[in-house]
């Protein structure tokens, strides 16, 4: 299975709705035209507006508003009904929208949208949507993943073998939920903060590819089996067997290396095939927009219905029609053969990159001549022992 969320624009735009009684730094500021000669009056007005912003920041630190009679802006996420729509707080201001369920998500000053998240779980064999959930944008993907995953399991009747996703789902709660169901998460590495390394680093338990290390010689191990009962854990054997402790089967819990130890290791051809095929399923968002007008993000093409229920109904109806098309195209309704035992064959570039990196880093003398020179590995005959 493959899971991803995309933005869905509502037909209602969010407008600034701070009243005269609210402590808003925009009070008394007239909107300036874009093309205006920068005269002394404009410069003075610019300095006044900059001072108002600084004054707003100073008031935010104080325990009470500096100007009497002004009502402080409530915390982020505060909502209240406003007629048929809603008024809510976003980025320190009141916003008004005719869509009572939509929210605003802002990445930068120029990259934002007002509406919903359209989350899909897609079958990687047919490309059809197994489950779709529409949620407001003020809820993160890691928060809404649980309901989306449970609905997908209810549809297929069991847990999938693997679930592919992008960095938006690289959270501990997502990995823990999947590992407890014996599902392999195929998710890219994500930095926890701005100070985190650019790629996963080696630890005492695993290397940077998530391969467990021998507890005796610290060499990489060969994974034997995985168990999700109780605390998820991995059994493995040492690949070198250089010490007496290397000959026994070893076990390590997955909690010792979150997001690293998996039921299917990253060096396996199955994991590599799933990792390589992830990008091609981004087209499922485009297909649903093109065929069913579901998950639209264009201001000119978005349907005119508002409300979460309307968005969910349209997305679910599109998924139902899509599966009817799949059943007729594959002739499953006519008693066609179910390709349940089909095996995907791939010449994986991802697996090649991983194995090449491991050969260069873990095997002395392995890799290209340039890599051997970099690591200082001597090749050829041994040096002479006599002067």
- DSSP states along 111-179: SEEEEEEEEEEE-TTT--EEEEEEEETTS-HHHHHHHHHHHHHHHHSS--SEEEE-GGG--HHHHHHHH
Q: What is the DSSP string of 20-82?
A: TTB--TTTT-PPPPSS----HHHHHHHHHHHHHHHHHHHHHHSSS-SSTTPBPPPPTT-EEEE
Most confident option among 38-47, 54-63, 321-330, 362-371: 321-330
Whether residue 119 has pLDDT greater than 80: yes
Kindly state the percentage of the chain with pLDDT values over 90: 12
Beta bridge partners of 212: 206
- pLDDT given for residue 131 in this prediction: 93
pLDDT one-digit tens code per residue, 249-300:
999 988 888 788 888 888 888 888 888 887 778 888 888 887 887 777 766 6
Most confident option among 67-71, 96-100, 303-307: 96-100
Average pLDDT, the chain: 77
Beta bridge partners of 251: 235
Tokens representing 105 are: 């998500």
67: confidence class by pLDDT, cuts 50, 70, 90: low
pLDDT one-digit tens code per residue, 288-336:
887 887 777 766 677 777 888 888 998 899 899 999 988 888 777 776 5
Tokens representing 228 are: 């999700």
Helix (H) or strand (E) segment spanning residue 223:
strand 221-227
Comparison of pLDDT for 341 and 223, the residue scoring more: 223
pTM of the predicted protein model:
0.70
59: confidence class by pLDDT, cuts 50, 70, 90: low
Tokens representing 227 are: 């168990």
Name which of 2, 10, 4 is nearest 302 in CA terms. 10
Cβ neighbours for 372, distance < 8 A, ≥ 6 positions apart:
365, 366, 379
Kindly state the percentage of the chain with pLDDT values over 70: 73
Comparison of pLDDT for 347 and 330, the residue scoring more: 330
386: confidence class by pLDDT, cuts 50, 70, 90: low
Tokens representing 387 are: 């002067």
Whether residue 58 has pLDDT greater than 60: no
């Amino acid at each position: 299975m493959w899971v991803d969320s995309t933005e869905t624009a509502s037909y209602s735009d969010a407008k600034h709705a701070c009243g005269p009684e609210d402590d808003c730094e925009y009070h008394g500021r007239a909107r300036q035209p874009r093309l205006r000669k920068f005269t002394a009056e404009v410069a003075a007005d610019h300095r006044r507006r900059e001072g108002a912003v600084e004054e707003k920041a100073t008031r935010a630190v104080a325990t009470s508003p500096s100007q009497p009679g002004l009502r402080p802006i409530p915390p982020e996420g505060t909502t209240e009904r406003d007629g048929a729509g809603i008024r809510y707080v976003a980025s320190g201001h009141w916003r008004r929208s005719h869509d009572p369920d939509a929210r605003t998500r802002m990445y930068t000053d120029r990259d934002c949208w007002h509406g919903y998240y359209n989350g899909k779980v897609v079958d990687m064999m047919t490309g059809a949507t197994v489950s779709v959930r529409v949620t407001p944008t003020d809820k993160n993907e890691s928060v809404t993943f649980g309901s989306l995953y449970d609905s997908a399991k209810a549809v297929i009747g069991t847990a999938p073998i693997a679930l592919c996703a992008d960095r938006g789902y690289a959270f501990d709660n997502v990995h823990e939920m999947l590992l407890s169901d014996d599902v392999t998460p195929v998710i890219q590495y994500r930095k926890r903060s701005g100070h985190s390394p650019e790629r996963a680093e080696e630890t005492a338990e695993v290397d940077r590819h998530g391969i467990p290390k021998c507890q005796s010689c610290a060499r990489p191990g060969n994974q034997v089996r995985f168990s999700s009962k109780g605390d998820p854990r991995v059994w493995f054997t040492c690949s070198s067997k250089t010490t007496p402790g290397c000959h026994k089967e070893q076990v390590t819990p997955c909690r010792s290396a979150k997001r690293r130890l998996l039921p299917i290791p990253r060096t396996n051809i199955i994991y590599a095939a799933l990792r390589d095929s992830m990008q091609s399923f981004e087209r499922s968002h485009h297909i649903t927009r093109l065929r069913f007008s579901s998950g639209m993000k264009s201001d000119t093409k978005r349907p005119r219905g508002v409300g979460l229920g309307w968005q969910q109904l349209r997305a679910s109806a599109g998924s139902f029609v899509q599966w009817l098309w799949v059943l007729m195209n594959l002739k499953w309704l006519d008693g066609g053969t179910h390709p349940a035992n089909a095996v995907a064959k791939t010449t994986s570039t991802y697996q090649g990159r991983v194995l090449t990196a491991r050969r260069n880093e873990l095997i002395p003398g392995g890799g290209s001549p340039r890599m051997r020179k970099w690591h200082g590995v001597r090749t050829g005959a041994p040096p002479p022992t006599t002067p």
